[in-house]
Amino acid sequence: MAIVTEIESLFETYKMAVYQKDLEAFTAIFDEKVRVYDIWQQWTYDGLAAWREMAKGWFSSLEANRDVVTFDDIQIQATGEMAVASAIIRFTNVSEKGEELRYLENRLTWVARKSDQGWKIIHEHTSSPIDFSTMKVILQR
């Protein structure tokens, strides 16, 4: 399998895991020593245990709703055992009936490394621009 295709599979697993609120599938694509700079709540999540707790709280906060994840403008640069991927990620919250309730978008960058267990994300960084005049985060393009 080509490296780009293998990295693309991380995006697919992420989308499926979030929609299904599958904590095991979600965390399976991350390395044990992952470092995450997330846009929400705290500066850094160091290690898979911390990232798992974040995801556990996120998934339970959805209650009966779900988040549908889509990616746009995916770019992947990979050589050997290292890869960098970036994309625009959209989280659309939907009701039990499938009605779109709200959405937000972030910029996403992943650094992944190939190991004996396959490709694992060793660093995730999400961000959104800030409007200079209001100092508010812009969560929609």
* In the predicted structure, residue 83 carries a pLDDT above the cut 70: yes
**Domains in the chain: ranges and CATH:** 3-127 (3.10.450.50)
* In the predicted structure, residue 11 carries a pLDDT above the cut 70: yes
Over residues 68-91, the mean pLDDT reads 97
* In the predicted structure, residue 89 carries a pLDDT above the cut 90: yes
Average pLDDT over the chain, rounded to whole? 96
* In the predicted structure, residue 77 carries a pLDDT above the cut 90: yes
The pTM is what?
Answer: 0.93
Residues 6+ positions from 36 with CB-CB distance below 8 Å = 44, 45, 50, 51, 54, 123, 124, 125
**Widest CA span of the chain, in angstroms?**
49
